[in-house]
């Protein structure tokens, strides 16, 4: 897929609102409820965009037309970063995005997207469903008139694309880097100037030199953005988004008008897409990493321990500042830390212990 094609289709220019897609089952003789979904992702973008579109389409299909869904990609109705307000105000019924975009409204939103040295996908899934995460998410969202569900995940992200090698902490100083959320706050502690940009604007800023580096997702998603045209050094692992939780945020007043059956369908489809997108990402990342290296000369680099230790120290400073915001921020952080410790110890023993030994025996390496 041509990057310029899907960015053009994202409707980031004027008049793009006309590009709405109606995603519903065939009309039948029954009352229907309108559901406008706005997204933070470009239309047809592999992985993120197609996942959001798949979820929107299935809501219309599985409710058999009772919910008539109109889906708008980033820029087609509102800008990517305006999605939250569009739904909280009731102008739209739901958004699909990542909740760390809203940390300026309350820092606790970041924990339900991704935070530095945070939870991986299975850890996040366990925390949300069985570790008290959903209850805290509900408490946070209720203050904004929202109801939120996990609706996708991209797993451990890459550390980012850089136009120079990063061998010491000093190499980070003065860089302009597209990196949102608390991860951006961590990089700022190390002398980076973090920049928040929606996906459809990153490539142009990287090519023009407006930013020196960017993180995005991983090989599958990054391949189609063609970042390799401006930055050849591809660093791993990302400390900033170890299990990027995507979500559907729903206007709570509208949600309360739905039947229990239709509420259940939407919740179940969000859970399904949460699993589907993670599976798709894992299935594609290895293939596209090989293509980036072999077809485009991308140089894979690993952050050394000195740099990673600096990330860790800076992240603790950011967390200390975050929990001072409010009682809710402190309670969310406390619950997150408990999950990271308890679930993380088990994952280290089980998953990491097994895969480390399996890959050693079979000679599987980066």
> Which candidate, 303, 272, 293, 359, places its Cα nearest to that of 156?
303
Phi, psi angle pair for 91, to nearest 5°: -70, -25
pLDDT at 289: 98
pLDDT at 366: 87
> Which candidate, 59, 23, 93, places its Cα nearest to that of 265?
59
Distance (Å, rounded) from C-alpha 247 to C-alpha 152?
A: 6
The ranges of the chain annotated as CATH 3.40.190.170 are 3-153+244-283
Distance (Å, rounded) from C-alpha 117 to C-alpha 23?
A: 38
Q: Angle 115-118-123 (CA atoms, 0-180°, nearest 5)?
A: 130
Distance (Å, rounded) from C-alpha 352 to C-alpha 355?
A: 5
Q: Which CATH architecture has domain 3-153+244-283?
A: 3-Layer(aba) Sandwich (3.40)
Residue ranges of E strands in the chain: 21-23, 33-39, 67-72, 94-98, 146-153, 160-162, 176-178, 193-195, 213-214, 233-236, 245-251, 299-302
pLDDT at 317: 98
- Is the domain spanning 160-241+298-362 CATH 3.40.190.10? The answer is yes
Phi, psi angle pair for 178, to nearest 5°: -75, 110
pLDDT at 7: 46
Residue 155 three-state SS: coil
Beta-carbon neighbour count of residue 324 at 10 Å? 10
Give, for all 366 residues of the chain, the pLDDT tens digit.
454 444 444 444 333 444 455 555 444 446 899 999 999 999 999 999 999 999 999 999 999 999 999 999 999 999 999 999 999 999 999 999 999 999 999 999 999 999 999 999 999 999 999 999 999 999 999 999 999 999 999 999 999 999 999 999 999 999 999 999 999 999 999 999 999 999 989 999 999 999 999 999 999 999 999 999 999 999 999 999 999 999 999 999 999 999 999 999 999 999 999 999 999 999 999 999 999 999 999 999 999 999 999 999 999 999 999 999 999 999 999 999 999 999 999 999 999 999 999 999 999 998
């Amino acid at each position: 897929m041509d990057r310029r094609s899907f960015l053009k289709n994202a409707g980031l220019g004027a008049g793009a609102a006309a590009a709405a897609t109606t995603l519903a089952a065939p009309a039948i003789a029954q009352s229907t409820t309108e559901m406008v979904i706005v997204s933070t992702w470009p239309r047809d973008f592999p992985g993120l965009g197609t996942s959001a579109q798949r979820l929107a389409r299935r809501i219309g299909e599985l409710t058999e037309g009772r919910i008539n869904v109109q889906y708008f990609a980033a820029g087609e109705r509102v800008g990517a970063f305006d999605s939250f307000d569009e739904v909280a105000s009731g102008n739209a019924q739901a958004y699909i995005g990542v909740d760390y975009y809203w940390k300026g409204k309350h820092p606790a939103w970041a924990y339900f997207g991704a935070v530095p040295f945070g939870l991986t996908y299975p850890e996040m899934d366990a925390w949300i469903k069985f570790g008290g995460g959903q209850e805290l998410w509900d408490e946070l969202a209720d203050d904004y008139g929202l109801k939120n569900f996990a609706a996708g995940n991209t797993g451990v992200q890459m550390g980012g694309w850089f136009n120079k090698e990063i061998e010491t902490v000093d190499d980070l100083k003065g860089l302009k880097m597209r990196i949102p959320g608390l991860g951006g706050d961590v990089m700022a502690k190390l002398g980076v100037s973090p920049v928040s940009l929606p996906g459809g604007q990153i490539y142009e800023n990287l090519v023009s030199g407006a930013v020196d580096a960017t993180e995005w997702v991983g090989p599958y998603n990054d391949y189609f953005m063609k970042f390799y045209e401006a930055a050849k050094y591809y660093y791993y692992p990302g400390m900033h988004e170890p299990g990027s939780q995507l979500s559907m945020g729903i206007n709570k007043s509208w949600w309360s008008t739905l039947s229990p059956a239709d509420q259940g369908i939407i919740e179940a489809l969000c859970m399904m897409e949460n699993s589907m997108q993670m599976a798709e990402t894992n299935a594609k990342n290895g293939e596209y990493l090989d293509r980036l290296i072999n077809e485009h000369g991308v140089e894979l680099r690993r952050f050394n321990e000195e740099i990673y230790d600096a990330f860790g120290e800076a992240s603790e400073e950011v967390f200390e500042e975050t929990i001072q915001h409010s009682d809710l921020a402190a309670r969310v952080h406390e619950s997150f830390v408990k999950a990271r410790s308890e679930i993380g110890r088990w994952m280290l023993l089980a998953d990491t212990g097994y895969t480390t030994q399996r890959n050693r025996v079979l000679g599987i390496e980066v």
